[in-house]
Amino acid sequence: MSRRIVVVAAGLTVPSSTRLLADQLAEATSAQVSARGESVELEFVEVRELAAELASFMVTGGIPSPRLTALRESVASADGLIAVTPVFNGSYSGLFKMLVDALDKDSLTGTPVLIAATAGSARHSLVLDHALRPLFAYLRAVVVPTGVFAATEDFGSHGLADRITRAAAELAAAVLTQGAYAVGGFAPDLAARPRRTSGTQVEPEVTPFGELLRGHSGTD
């Protein structure tokens, strides 16, 4: 069974150090999954390409464009998520938060997530534990223990490479074992996976409006 991991890169420039880190994390995770005899499909999301649609979503009361609808469904059905943001004023970027706000509140329930951030200075490294980890914990995602922070001087260093490898191994293990995957050769118990919703489909059981008003006299 092939796994699918969505890779979110919230960089604003081309080229972007944020996208570079996202690529390295995705490649390392793919290698870790393959080393366990499984296959993985990577889906990349450049948040800056959705900027106008995210702004429209926010000011129209939550009406998504077709592309944003597809993204919401993709995230809700993914086996894992890699989320990488630049650091602005000590926290994740506003554009990154707009994307998270556009997701359904239950779309990441139980989803293994690898968090990462880039910045010009190592002084921003606490953003992982003080901003990103609480954000995804609120969404009931399963954040892997190792987060990856990369300042400008970290790129190309052995320390960053080691952190990437460790985080990728943790994400790969979480993705392959969620919902009773890889249990002694038994088939995966898909029913054991947490229920996730994209927020783009109407629930099948909808009470008719007339029934809701049954017995109401029409007076306050």
Q: What CATH number did the domain enclosing 48 receive? A: 3.40.50.360
Q: Is 145 among the domain residues?
A: yes
Number of domains within the chain: 1
CA distances to 78, 82, 196 from 111, in Å:
8, 10, 9
Comparing 3-17, 78-92, 135-149, 202-216, which segment has the lowest mean pLDDT?
202-216
The CA-to-CA distance between both ends of the chain, in Å, stands at 57
pLDDT band at 145 (very low <50, low <70, confident <90, very high): very high
DSSP of the chain: --EEEEEEE---SSS-HHHHHHHHHHHHHHHHHHHTT--EEEEEEEGGGGHHHHHHHHHTTS---HHHHHHHHHHHH-SEEEEEEEEETTEE-HHHHHHHHTS-TTTTTT-EEEEEEEESSGGGTTHIIIIIHHHHHHTT-EE-S--EEEEGGGTT-HHHHHHHHHHHHHHHHHHHHGGGTTSTTPPP-GGGSPP---S-S--S----HHHHTTT--S--
- Please check whether residue 30 lies inside any domain of the structure: yes
The answer to whether residue 220 sits within a structural domain is no
219 lies in a domain? no
Domain that holds residue 56: 3-212
Residue 217 falls inside a structural domain: no
1: confidence class by pLDDT, cuts 50, 70, 90: confident
In this prediction the pTM is: 0.83
Q: So what's the pLDDT on residue 43?
A: 98
Residue 103 inside a domain? The answer is yes
